[in-house]
Amino acid sequence: MENLNILAVESSCDETAVAIVRDGREILTDCIASQVAEHRIYGGVVPEIASRKHVEAIYGLADEALLKTGLTRADIDAVAVTYAPGLIGAVLVGVNFAKAAAMALGKPLIPVHHIRGHIAANYLAFPELKPPFLCLVVSGGHTMIVEVEDYTKMRILGTTLDDAAGECFDKVGRVLGMPYPGGAALDKAAQAGDNTRYPMPRSKPGENPYHMSFSGLKTAALNTIHHASQVGEEIDIPGLCASFCAAVSDTLVPRVVMALKETGHKQLAVAGGVAANSVIRRDILAAAEKLGVEVFLPPLSLCGDNAAMIGSQAYYEYLAGNTAGMELNAYATKSILGETL
């Protein structure tokens, strides 16, 4: 199906976004209203504030998207929305807006899982990428290794059993006094540090060799900071950041290498906000080169939350017949495979 214009909505956390995507591969526009400034004073996302800001921004962003493309409402062929997972109040704002828009326009409503959207960001950046391939998803709320067998058929090889990698970056950055979100500042500080300065754990939880755990690493980093404060020592911030980044990368990259060898895939995509981390990007590229694997790293603009990625995945969900009616609900937790957690 060609020339299918999808109006896509994303509101799962602290970015309100509306995009128009054509045929799953072409971004006509991607309008984003960030809430970072509102949440920075609290050191993290406040769910009630996020929901309120989504309500304030979403209608204007939809109008802006149409204005920027020169399209009219009649040119929209379907409406897509993130329906899970995320902050429930925030997700509900997007779901209710999308349901109203689909009903008013008389167009199909396409529910999209947020993580499937992150994976699909690679389709926008790399038109040549097609399933099957392996994908490492690393974001503020999720960390997993996914085998993408087809556009809507996926298999989870391994996932974090506790904290997501992105959450740990933000928490450690916050304790170090870095502005929210802490991941970018922590990555920048790490560039000048010695990654062997502080010992950091690399956990191996459970029987599944692909599963990960980051809570112990986060605790180790926080304890190191608190201990230095208690005994009056000055923390080597670049050294701590470099040591922390190395530990996260050492948790992720060997498991990805193992998965590539086991599955035989020669294409690796990386998705999610933590994919912007320079240490992880460097180590993945180096490991993939040794294996002769092609790596797809989306531009930084597509690593974070955006609606274009939702519009991309929505196209393939639509082709697979995965549409919804007005009974569509929002979910705070839901597996990428569809099961409610």
How confident is the model at residue 341, as a pLDDT? 46
Per residue, what are the HEC states of 184-239?
Answer: HHHHHHHCCCCCCCCCCCCCCCCCCCCCECCHHHHHHHHHHHHHHHHHCCCCCHHH
Beta-bridged to residue 27, according to DSSP, are 21
Amino acid sitting at position 241: C
Helix, strand, coil % (nearest 5) of the chain? 45, 20, 35
What sign has the CA pseudo-torsion 213, 218, 221, 222? negative
* b/e burial code for range 33-71 (CB count within 10 A of at least 16 → b): bebeeebeeebebbeebbbbbbbebbeebbeebbeeeeb
- Show the domains of the chain with their CATH numbers: 5-121+305-319 (3.30.420.40), 130-297 (3.30.420.40)
How confident is the model at residue 183, as a pLDDT? 87
User: Phi and psi at residue 71, in whole multiples of 5°?
Assistant: -85, 160
pLDDT tens-digit profile, the chain (341 residues): 789 999 999 999 999 999 999 999 999 999 999 998 898 888 888 999 999 999 999 999 999 999 999 999 999 999 999 999 999 999 999 999 999 999 999 999 999 999 999 999 999 999 999 999 999 999 888 999 999 999 999 999 999 999 999 999 999 999 999 988 888 899 999 999 999 999 999 988 878 999 999 999 999 999 999 999 999 999 999 999 999 999 999 999 999 999 999 999 999 999 998 888 999 999 999 999 999 999 999 998 898 899 999 999 999 999 999 999 999 999 999 999 875 54
